[in-house]
């Protein structure tokens, strides 16, 4: 198995392969020559310089590496080439198995408009909007989309047809803002995806982001393995995910799963995928899109279903039908008996609008203990390169119910030790301490959470005094040689030992 990815997901896939006795081949860029995923694999092949465009996105080099090492299959992970139909096709044509959906299905779902049309035809409620690509350099298209905007209704979103991750997206509050948003959205889409086509969607807000984990085999069986609430986001990127989605009734859950399965079957999907929906304040679901790959947040589903989704992906890629374990898990998800939550620890500054802050990690210690799983590829002293995604670890906890999972997450986050780089940890801790987040029915969850409830600079300012005293004391203690301490034992203030240093060294919450 060749893993066409890096970081925690490459390591996570290698681990499953090792469980199954499958040899692994890592690929790496110059930035990752000493990375954990390279050390963990049975073999490793350099594929190019640090920039992703010259390494992890070079499908040709990855296929060459697979052929040279005799790999029988390629797992693309998430991101990078995972949803490039051309790559999946080239892999298959080279006589190598691609662990993921068929190229035609990736193509159909990667085209957001085709996915919207497919879902609509499968009787799945789709976010109101347009269904055809509009090119802003064509007068006819512009006239049509301006007319359509009245029907869609304001506020609305201009979105990139080839897009994802919020790129090319523009919010339009009133008709006079539409022309400028069309031009700006199209330009950004062209720059990001090489395709400037856009479409409109009505803005559903407030809303929760809820998605369904799907698994299908090549005999046309598709099952839902529960849903995940991913409402806590910044810049349309997820920060926290949990399963099941809090507060859904059994009927709502069953209806949602059925809609996702219908959309996936209509698209001819097999292997792992995720159907994303918005859940509005009138408790209606609206189809957004299908991601034809393993998601970052698949781990929470694994904790609740006790499945290894990567292993199931491999069985499916080998031509097997869905396993008994998958069927059993799928029939149990309507009434979940466990709850799992994940926080994505990223090298970002939550006091500066989550700006990425790459650098070298100093101290690094991750939590463990009952109900805790951590997926990471970072080791103490590792460099977080500026070339890739800033996510550095996924901390997950599981328990009988949400209350226990959250309680364990609070404990787990208090065990996290990272120095050298700023991380999203302060936000995660504040979120878990917020009684509104802990509310069981999920009614306070919203994609606007970060914008409405998070004030990073203020939160940082509140600990500055403590940080200054801690630094002063640490410097003084470092300066104190053993002889100095012997001379002046009475100078050591007793308060420090009990309230500060001891806590700092032990890392345990009180």
Q: Report the interface residues with another protein, using CB under 8 A.
A: 50-51, 347, 351-352, 355-360, 362-363, 386-390, 414, 416-429, 457, 459-461, 463-481, 484, 488, 491-493, 495-496, 499-500, 503-504, 507, 509-510
The answer to whether residues 484 and 386 touch, using CB atoms and an 8 Å cutoff, is no
Q: What is the nearest approach in angstroms of another protein to the Cβ of residue 312?
A: 30
Q: What is the DSSP string of 157-187?
A: EEEETT--TTTT-EEESSGGGHHHHHHHHHH
Identify which of residues 320 and 487 has a Cβ nearer to another protein in the complex.
487
Closer to another protein at the Cβ: 226 or 426?
426
The CB-of-146 to another protein minimum distance in angstroms stands at 31
* Nearer residue to another protein within complex by CB, 53 or 220: 53
Structure tokens given for 173 = 């509050």
- Smallest gap from Cβ 180 to another protein, in A, equals 21
Instruction: State which residue, 139 or 458, has the beta carbon closest to another protein.
Output: 458
Taking the complex as a whole, how short is the minimal distance between the CB of residue 327 and another protein, in angstroms?
Answer: 39
Neighbouring residues of 212: CB distance < 8 A, sequence distance ≥ 6 = 224, 226, 227, 228, 256, 257, 260, 261, 274, 275, 277
Task: Please report where in the chains the tokens 């986001």 appear, as a residue.
Answer: 233
Q: Which is nearer to another protein, 271 or 422 (CB)?
A: 422
Burial class (CB in 10 A: 0-12, 13-18, 19+), 360: exposed
Cβ at position 250, least distance to another protein in Å: 38
Q: Smallest gap, in angstroms, from Cβ of residue 328 to another protein?
A: 40
| Closer residue to another protein (CB): 22 or 430 | 430
Q: Which is nearer to another protein, 125 or 493 (CB)?
A: 493
- Residue carrying the six token digits 């049309």: 117
Across 147-175, b (16+ Cβ under 10 Å) vs e yields ebbeebeeebbbbbbbbbeebbbbebeee
Alpha helix stretches (DSSP H) within 194-242: none
Q: How far is the CB of 471 from another protein (least distance, A)?
A: 4
Q: Min. distance of Cβ 235 from another protein in angstroms?
A: 9
Residue 232 C-beta: closest distance to another protein, Å: 16
| Residue number with CB closer to another protein (59 or 390) | 390
Quote the CA–CA distance of 344 and 232 in Å, as a whole number.
11
User: In which residue are the tokens 């698209």 written?
Assistant: 267
User: Which residue's CB is nearer to another protein, number 96 or number 418?
Assistant: 418
Taking the least distance from each CB to another protein, the nearer of 65 and 431 is: 431
Nearest distance, CB of residue 91 and another protein, angstroms: 25
Q: Which 3 state secondary structure label does DSSP give 74?
A: strand
Lookup: tokens for 94 = 């080279």
User: Can you list the pairs that 50-58 forms with residues at least 24 positions away whose Cβ atoms lie under 8 Å?
Assistant: 50/385, 50/387, 51/387, 52/80, 52/387, 52/388, 54/29, 55/27, 55/28, 55/29, 55/30, 56/4, 56/5, 56/6, 56/27, 56/29, 56/80, 56/81, 56/388, 57/81
Q: How far is the CB of 233 from another protein (least distance, A)?
A: 15
| Cβ contact 314:22 at 8 Å | yes
Is 100 exposed, middle or buried, given 0-12, 13-18 or 19+ CB atoms closer than 10 A? buried
In the complex with another protein, the residue whose CB is nearer, 121 or 355, is 355
d(CA 211, CA 232): 13
Structure tokens at 45: 């092949």
Q: Are 192 and 163 in contact (CB under 8 A)?
A: yes
Pairwise CA distance, residues 239 & 348, whole Å:
11
């Amino acid at each position: 198995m060749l893993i066409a990815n890096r970081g925690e997901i490459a390591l996570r896939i290698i681990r499953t392969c090792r469980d199954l006795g499958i040899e692994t081949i890592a690929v790496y860029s110059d930035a990752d020559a000493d990375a954990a995923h390279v050390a963990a694999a049975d073999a490793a092949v350099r594929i190019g310089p640090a920039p992703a465009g010259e390494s992890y996105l070079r499908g040709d080099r990855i296929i060459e590496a697979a052929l040279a090492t005799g790999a029988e299959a390629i797992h693309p992970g998430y991101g990078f080439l995972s949803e490039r139909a051309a790559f999946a096709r080239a892999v298959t044509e080279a006589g190598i198995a691609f662990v993921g959906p068929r190229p035609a299905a990736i193509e159909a779902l990667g085209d957001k408009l085709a996915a919207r049309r497919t879902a609509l035809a499968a009787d799945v409620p789709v976010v109101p909007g347009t269904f055809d690509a509009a090119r802003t350099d064509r007068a006819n298209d512009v006239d049509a989309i301006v007319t359509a905007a009245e029907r869609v209704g304001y506020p609305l979103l201009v979105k990139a047809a080839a897009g994802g991750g919020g790129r090319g997206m523009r919010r339009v509050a009133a008709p006079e803002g539409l022309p400028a948003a069309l031009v700006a959205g199209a330009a950004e889409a062209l720059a990001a995806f090489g395709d400037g086509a856009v479409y409109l969607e009505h803005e559903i807000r407030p809303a929760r982001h809820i998605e369904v984990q799907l698994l299908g085999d090549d005999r046309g069986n598709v099952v839902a393995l529960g849903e995940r609430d991913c409402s806590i986001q910044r810049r349309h990127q997820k920060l926290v995910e949990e399963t099941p989605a809090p507060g859904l009734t059994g009927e709502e859950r069953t209806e949602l799963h059925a809609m996702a399965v219908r959309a996936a079957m209509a698209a001819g999907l097999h292997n792992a995928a995720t159907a994303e929906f918005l859940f509005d304040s009138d408790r209606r679901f609206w189809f957004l899109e299908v991601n034809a790959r393993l998601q970052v947040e698949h781990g929470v589903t694994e904790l609740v279903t006790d499945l290894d989704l990567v292993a199931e992906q491999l069985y499916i890629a080998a031509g097997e039908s869905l396993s008994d374990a998958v069927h059993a898990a799928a029939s149990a998800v309507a009434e979940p008996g466990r709850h799992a939550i994940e926080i994505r620890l990223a090298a970002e500054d939550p006091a500066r609008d989550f700006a990425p802050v790459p650098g070298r990690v100093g101290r690094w210690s991750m939590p463990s203990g009952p109900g805790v799983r951590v997926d990471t590829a970072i080791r103490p002293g590792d460099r977080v390169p500026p070339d890739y995604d800033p996510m550095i670890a996924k901390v997950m906890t599981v328990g009988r119910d949400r209350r226990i999972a959250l309680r364990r997450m609070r404990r787990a986050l208090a065990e996290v030790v990272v120095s050298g780089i700023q991380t999203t940890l302060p936000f995660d801790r504040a979120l878990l301490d917020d009684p509104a987040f802990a509310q069981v029915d999920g009614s306070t969850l919203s994609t606007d959470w970060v914008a409405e409830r998070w004030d990073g600079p203020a939160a940082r300012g509140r600990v500055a005094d403590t940080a200054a005293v801690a630094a002063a004391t640490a410097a003084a203690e470092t300066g104190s040689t053993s002889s100095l301490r012997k001379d002046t034992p009475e100078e050591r203030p007793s308060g420090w030992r009990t309230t500060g240093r001891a806590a700092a060294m032990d890392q345990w919450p009180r």
